[in-house]
Chain A
Amino acid sequence: SQKIEQNSEALNIQEGKTATLTCNYTNYSPAYLQWYRQDPGRGPVFLLLIRENEKEKRKERLKVTFDTTLKQSLFHITASQPADSATYLCAFRSISGGYNKLIFGAGTRLAVHP
């Protein structure tokens, strides 16, 4: 079955450093991947989308890469700030049975320390 995996362990980094989160997927070749931020007790907020023919996408301090050979996406936050502390989810869109739905990873919790 289609599966998406993220490092379940929390990532702790010092303020100002670059945070790198990993998302791996199996049994599927998504046309694009999405990254979301989720704060405790809140719904996910869309951050970035990267298509399979794009190697890299940037938005302010965020950068996403997509390696279809490795079946992996990396999410980077440069010059991290304590306000970046949250859980980050990756997702891809699956089309099966005529229905179009997002498959989410479990998320990686990022803690940025002052």
Chain B
Amino acid sequence: GAVVSQHPSWVICKSGTSVKIECRSLDFQATTMFWYRQFPKQSLMLMATSNEGSKATYEQGVEKDKFLINHASLTLSTLTVTSAHPEDSSFYICSARARTDYNEQFFGPGTRLTVL
């Protein structure tokens, strides 16, 4: 149980285009989902927290107009990187929080974005 999927697992795009990444909780309902970015040999950095049906809360330094997050249902959240640039190339990981005593978070397998 508690599986989180992401699609696509990798994407290569041209500079200036937009890319959408999907995150799904497959066997549980996630009222809260998180989006992280990870650069090589660095820690996961939280980008934003999204609650189903409401606007996402972005961490300091993360541009909300560039990284659009939609959490339309209890099992689906999407991250759209708009007008992508090479510096946006990174590993994007989503996470969904389950309704347990310790608010356990389960992570997706990640999406490798490369912007040319």
Listed in ascending order, the chain A residues whose CB lies under 8 Å from chain B are: 32, 36, 41-46, 49, 89, 93, 99-102, 104-107
Cα of A41 to Cα of B40 in the assembled complex, Å: 10
Cα of A45 to Cα of B2 in the assembled complex, Å: 11
Majority SS of interface residues in chain A? strand
- Distance between A9 CB and nearest chain B CB, rounded to angstroms: 11
Q: Which residues from A are CB-within-8-Å of B4?
A: 43
Q: Given that A32-B102, A99-B57, A101-B49 are known contacts, is A41 also in contact with B112, CB under 8 Å in the complex?
A: yes
A106 touches B42 (CB 8 A): yes
CB under 8 Å from chain A, chain B span 58-112: 91, 93, 95, 102-110, 112
Listed in ascending order, the chain B residues whose CB lies under 8 Å from chain A are: 4, 6, 32, 34, 41-44, 46, 49, 57, 91, 93, 95, 102-110, 112
A105 touches B43 (CB 8 A): yes
8 contacts between A and B (CB under 8 A): A36-B107, A43-B93, A49-B104, A99-B57, A101-B49, A106-B41, A106-B42, A106-B43
Cα of A16 to Cα of B110 in the assembled complex, Å: 31
A44 touches B102 (CB 8 A): no
- Distance between B76 CB and nearest chain A CB, rounded to angstroms: 17
Q: Which residues from B are CB-within-8-Å of A93?
A: 103
Q: Given that A93-B103, A99-B57, A100-B103 are known contacts, is A41 also in contact with B110, CB under 8 Å in the complex?
A: yes
Question: Closest residue of chain B to A6, judged by CB?
Answer: B43
Cα of A62 to Cα of B69 in the assembled complex, Å: 37
B49 touches A41 (CB 8 A): no
Cα of A89 to Cα of B38 in the assembled complex, Å: 13
A46 touches B34 (CB 8 A): no
Cα of A41 to Cα of B93 in the assembled complex, Å: 10
B110 touches A43 (CB 8 A): yes
A104 touches B109 (CB 8 A): no
Cα of A45 to Cα of B107 in the assembled complex, Å: 7
Q: Which residues from B are CB-within-8-Å of A101?
A: 34, 46, 49
Q: Given that A99-B49, A99-B57, A101-B34 are known contacts, is A44 also in contact with B103, CB under 8 Å in the complex?
A: no
